[in-house]
Amino acid sequence: MAVQPPKEFLERMRELLGGEYDAFYASYGNPRFAGIRVNTLKIDPAEFREAAPFELRPIPWCKTGYYVDEQTKPGKHPYYHAGLYYIQEPSAMAPVELLDVAPGERVLDLCAAPGGKSTQIAAKLRGSGMLVTNDINAERTKALAKNIELYGVRNAVVLAESPERIARAFPYSFDKILIDAPCSGEGMFRKDEDMARLWEPEWVRKYAGMQRDILQSAAALLAPGGRIVFSTCTFAPEENEATIADFLLEHPEFRVVPLVPDPCISPGRPEWLTWLAEQGEGRVYPPEIAAQTAGCGRLWPHKVEGEGHFLAVLERQGEGQPQEEDAGYGILVSERGGQTQSKRDSRQGHRGRPGAGRDAKAMDEREVLESWRTFAREHLNEAELPGEPLLFGGNVYLSPLGKERLDGLKVVRPGWYVGTVKNGRLTPGQPLATALSPTEAVRVLDLDASDGEAIRYLKGETLQVEAARIRCREGAGLKGYVLVTVDGHSLGWGKWQDGMLKNEYPAGWRWT
């Protein structure tokens, strides 16, 4: 057997699964499954299937997901660096599919790092609405922010906050919330042998307590009629059915939305709540509460080609939104760069003229933001870019939120990072390039994935490029920033002069 799960874990699963146990145990001798998910912000799945450099096999529960052979090394191809697909464990694609995200909605990914599910949400938003993606671990938000940027997301805010503080800042503000909850990780033993080696029985209780706290905060963040998807990658009923049952007891305004019968997704196990109570490890739930957990779902490694996951869809009953004074929406920026103010903020705007020092700071900020507008006129094809330009940490962002809404929060990215201003001129950021389409840039150089030039660019090398290869807007000169693409998909920036393309691809992103 390739992986040997902990003995105490196996004994418990034998008791819980009964006649299913032998098939479950045998699954640890099977190879793990690898998958990719197509990024529809950049390419249509049908187009990707035509261009894919490796064999694809559909994943049943995700229309944009495909099984791949891990040996093909999908991370070692220019298309990966162009953000055309995300490498993701197949079962991990299921929670966002159940969230049922629609363009224009306000969505929160509460425990988001490293960001795979956030990029899946962003693709479903199609550039409209707003995604707030968060992880309480500041170190983990580095990978989260990088993935948001690589995959061309324009309408996201990245936070490193506790759920409680987000709830105070955005009460009843989100249409959809994803909680990919911290858990004991029992479902990942086959994928990650270290997880199996380090697992401790005490983790189950510890993480169950954390999950209950996170769900409490999520309830304070969700708008009436909104939806929460709660998921884990563990088997323990304390972290799954019991967590949901406890939440329903405390929040009668919520209900479990039963999952549509699916051959890949098995139902929840309400009988395991009874088992926990008989073991003295859980409470006795009212029958109507316990019965709802049967509408949850489980992905089992002995039944599907993927690792173990638990899924629950929760909806707050009630239509319409809270009153604006209670909802905490504050300033919401329109997609065309304008903004609407709440009555509360409008009143605050009439409190009198700020001091001279604040005026000077505001003037400096206006000059910086004008540098961005100048860059956009000279290098972008009158594209209607979403969000409000704002200065944050010396960088320029286009934010889906007004700056005032972020005050007091630990903000990693307040929006789409477009560049840094120095000496009155804006140097464009890599995330600006990755989220642009070739039609939005004044100058474009397209590279071919089938020869070595694209990889040389990704390694940071200077390229020899004839002037005729640079596609320019009519009337524009060749001098200036060039959007470098591979087979029509953006990679990064370069600056062309006298037959040479100076490479602007950042060192931290380069092919290794």
451 sits in which H/E element: none
Q: What is the mean pLDDT of residues 96-101?
A: 98
- Whether cis (ω within 30° of 0) applies to the bond prior to 114 is yes
Percent of all residues in the chain with a pLDDT value above 70, rounded to a whole number: 91
pLDDT digits (tens, 9 = 90+) for 145-156: 999 999 999 999
Tokens 């409000």 -> residue: 388
- Given a cut of 50, whether residue 260 has pLDDT beyond it is yes
Q: How much is the mean pLDDT over the chain?
A: 91
Rounded CA-CA distance 416/418 in Å is 6
Lowest mean pLDDT among 225-234, 328-337, 375-384, 430-439: 328-337
- Residue 369 tokens, joined: 């933001």
Residue 362: its pLDDT value, please? Answer: 60
Confidence bin at 382 (pLDDT 50/70/90): confident
Rg (CA), the chain: 25
CB of 244 closer than 8 Å to CB of 267: no
Q: Which of 278, 283, 401 is nearest to 337 (CA)?
A: 401
Residue 26: its pLDDT value, please? Answer: 96
Confidence bin at 162 (pLDDT 50/70/90): very high
Judge whether 111 counts as a catalytic residue: no
- Residue 394 tokens, joined: 């010396």
- DSSP string of 273-320? HHHHHHTTSSPPPPHHHHHHGGGSEEE-TTTSSS--EEEEEEEE---S
pLDDT digits (tens, 9 = 90+) for 27-77: 999 999 999 999 999 999 999 999 999 999 999 999 999 999 989 999 999
Confidence bin at 367 (pLDDT 50/70/90): confident
- Given a cut of 80, whether residue 325 has pLDDT beyond it is no
Residue 330: its pLDDT value, please? Answer: 41
Rounded CA-CA distance 488/257 in Å is 42
Residue 319: its pLDDT value, please? Answer: 57
Out of 233, 264, 296, 472, the active site residue is 233
Q: Cα 59 to chain center, whole Å?
A: 19
Phi-psi region of 146 (alpha: psi -120 to 50; beta: other; left: phi over 0): alpha
Residue 110: its pLDDT value, please? Answer: 98
Confidence bin at 214 (pLDDT 50/70/90): very high
Residue 327: its pLDDT value, please? Answer: 44
Confidence bin at 446 (pLDDT 50/70/90): very high
- DSSP string of 391-427? EETTEEEEESB-GGGGTTS-EEESSEEEEEEETTEEE
| Burial profile 43-70: b = 16 or more Cβ within 10 angstroms, e = fewer | bebeebeeebeeebeebebbebbbbbee
Report which DSSP code applies to 461: -
Residue 1: its pLDDT value, please? Answer: 59
pLDDT digits (tens, 9 = 90+) for 183-194: 999 999 999 999
Question: E-assigned strands of 181-299?
Answer: 222-232, 254-256, 266-267, 297-299
pLDDT digits (tens, 9 = 90+) for 262-272: 999 999 999 99
CA distances in angstroms from 18 to 14, 23, 310, 450, listed in the order given = 6, 10, 19, 53
- Given a cut of 50, whether residue 344 has pLDDT beyond it is no
Percent of all residues in the chain with a pLDDT value above 90, rounded to a whole number: 84
- Given a cut of 70, whether residue 333 has pLDDT beyond it is no
pLDDT digits (tens, 9 = 90+) for 463-501: 999 999 999 999 899 989 999 999 999 999 999 999 999
Residue 345: its pLDDT value, please? Answer: 36
- DSSP string of 331-351? -EE-TTS-EE--HHHHHHTTS
Residue 360: its pLDDT value, please? Answer: 46
